[in-house]
Amino acid sequence: MRAKALCCAVFAVIGLFLDALPARAATILVYHSFGVRSSMSISLPAFEAQLDFLEKNGNKVIGVDELVATIAAGKNPPDGAVVIAIDDGWATVMAAFEVLKRRNLPFVVFLPMAYTANPYCKVTLSQADIDKLRAYPKVVFADHSFSHSPKLAKSEEFAREDVRKSRERFRQVLGFDTKYFAYPYGAVSESYTRALREAGYEYLFVTGDSPVSATTKVTAIPRIAANRLSVNVLASVLRNHAVLMAKAKATPAPAAAAPAPGPDPTLASAAPADPSPRAVE
């Protein structure tokens, strides 16, 4: 009897210890341009410093395919995992690409299709750049609209035509369809989301500072702008995500009926200060 009681006590302690561990979650860091004078740019040394920190801190960089496969299955990603995303298809992506390739790291590129592989847009990725990126097995290509216009979340007719053109252009440039889409400026509307889902986009990315876990909606996957994060601030963001997940795990679900559906805070967005593709999400 005494041995049985001791055994039960040991398992109880183990249970309490496991409950105290943070639930697993991932963080998506999104970048735009590299090594240029822009409010949306990050210097290459600062980018490398962030990557050095992730490696030393034990934050594994995983691909977007691995991330969405886990959350779509209702599972949590590896604890502390990070996904690297790059928006807008600026030509400076190629400088970041050399850094990421040297480190053998995966990343996803969200492309505004009117500007990608466009011979009249010298500051964006060319078709030759796209072909060079495609040779790297750890890059994933994703959609970021056709026009990257602030009208997309305001006009259903405009959005539907933009979705059609973007889908068509993506297939022309890349040769396949993508299931990933990031809202320009993080601006969302019900009609825009409906048009994207009907067109075949399965995973939609928004702006937000929440961690990504099994409870994340696949139509509102949050990403954090990382271009202005110092290493100390990045460390704080990752610690906060771990704390948020620990609190979520420790808080029991309320017994009361679920509240009526309301706006998802991860879908909130501010109007862009500059309607051009230079300062975008």
Q: CB-based contacts of 98: which residues, under 8 Å, 6+ apart?
A: none
Domains of the chain with bracketed CATH: 26-250 (3.20.20.370)
- Please, which pLDDT band fits residue 73 given cuts at 50, 70 and 90? very high
Average pLDDT for 78-82: 91
Percent of the chain with pLDDT over 70: 78
- Please, which pLDDT band fits residue 49 given cuts at 50, 70 and 90? very high
Q: How many CB atoms lie within 10 A of CB 279?
A: 15
Look at 235 and 254; give whichever has higher pLDDT.
235
CA contacts within 13 A on the Cβ side of 237? 26
Q: How many CB atoms lie within 10 A of CB 155?
A: 15
CA dist., res. 113 & res. 124, Å (int): 10
Average pLDDT for 209-218: 92
Give strand ranges (E) for the chain: 26-31, 33-34, 41-42, 81-87, 107-111, 139-143, 180-182, 203-207, 221-225
Is 80 exceeded by the pLDDT of residue 276?
Answer: no
What values do phi and psi take at 142, rounded to 5?
Answer: -140, 165
Is 60 exceeded by the pLDDT of residue 263?
Answer: no
pLDDT at 2: 53
Alpha carbon distances (Å) from 10 to 3, 6, 7, 14, 249: 11, 6, 5, 6, 22
- Least confident window among 161-170, 251-260, 269-278: 269-278
